[in-house]
Amino acid sequence: MTRIRLVLTLSAALCAPAITHAQTPDFSGIWVLDPSRSVLPVAPVSVGGDIRPPTKIKNVRPVYPVDAQRDRITGAVMIQATIDTDGSVANAEVVGSIPALDQAALDAVTQWKFTPTTLKGTPVPVIMIVTVNFSLDGVKPAPGAFTPPVGAPGVRMPPGATTGSTTRPTAPMGPASRVTITQTPETLTVTHETPRGPLVTLYRLDGSESRNAVTVTVYRLDASESRNAVTVAARAGGAAPAEVEFVYRSRWDSGRLITTITGSPGGLGPQQRTQTIYLDGDTMVIETAGPGLAGSDPVVQKLVYRKSGGV
| pLDDT tens-digit readout, 131-190 | 999 988 877 666 555 554 444 434 444 555 544 433 333 334 467 889 999 999 999 999
Residues 130, 74: Cα–Cα separation, whole Å: 17
Residues 148, 303: Cα–Cα separation, whole Å: 30
We report the CATH number of the domain holding residue 271 as: 2.40.128.20
Query: Do 85 and 192 share a domain, yes or no?
Result: no
With cut-offs at 50, 70 and 90, classify the pLDDT of residue 42: low
Query: Do 300 and 274 share a domain, yes or no?
Result: yes
Which of 168, 187, 208 is the C-terminal boundary of a domain? 168
Task: Detail the DSSP E strand segments found in 184-282.
Answer: 187-194, 197-204, 209-220, 240-253, 256-263, 271-280
Least confident among 166-175, 191-200, 267-276: 166-175
**Length of the chain as a residue count:** 311
Query: Do 303 and 179 share a domain, yes or no?
Result: yes
Query: Do 103 and 189 share a domain, yes or no?
Result: no
Which of 168, 202, 230 is the C-terminal boundary of a domain? 168
Q: Is residue 22 part of a domain?
A: no
Assess whether pLDDT exceeds 50 at residue 20.
Answer: no
CA distances from 294 to 41, 128, 129, 138, 171 (A): 15, 17, 18, 38, 17
Assess whether pLDDT exceeds 70 at residue 64.
Answer: yes
Residue-range definition of the domain harbouring residue 126? 46-168
Which of 126, 150, 168 is the C-terminal boundary of a domain? 168
245-282 core/surface letters (b: 16 or more CB in 10 A; e: else):
ebebebeeeeeebbbebebebbeeeeeebebebbeeee
Sign for the pseudo-dihedral over CA of 189, 193, 198, 199: negative
With cut-offs at 50, 70 and 90, classify the pLDDT of residue 192: confident
We report the CATH number of the domain holding residue 158 as: 3.30.2420.10
Contact 272, 283 (CB under 8 A): no
**Mean pLDDT computed over every residue of the chain:** 73
Q: Considering only residues 213 and 103, tell me which one the structure prediction assigns the higher pLDDT.
A: 103
Q: Quick one: which of 238, 236, 217 has its CA closest to 227?
A: 236
Predicted local confidence at residue 92, as pLDDT: 87
Query: Do 194 and 288 share a domain, yes or no?
Result: yes
For the chain, helix, strand, coil in percent to 5 are 15, 45, 40
Predicted local confidence at residue 273, as pLDDT: 86
Query: Do 179 and 149 share a domain, yes or no?
Result: no
Predicted local confidence at residue 96, as pLDDT: 84
| pLDDT tens-digit readout, 74-115 | 988 989 888 888 899 988 888 888 889 999 999 999 999 999
Query: Do 209 and 257 share a domain, yes or no?
Result: yes
Query: Do 161 and 105 share a domain, yes or no?
Result: yes
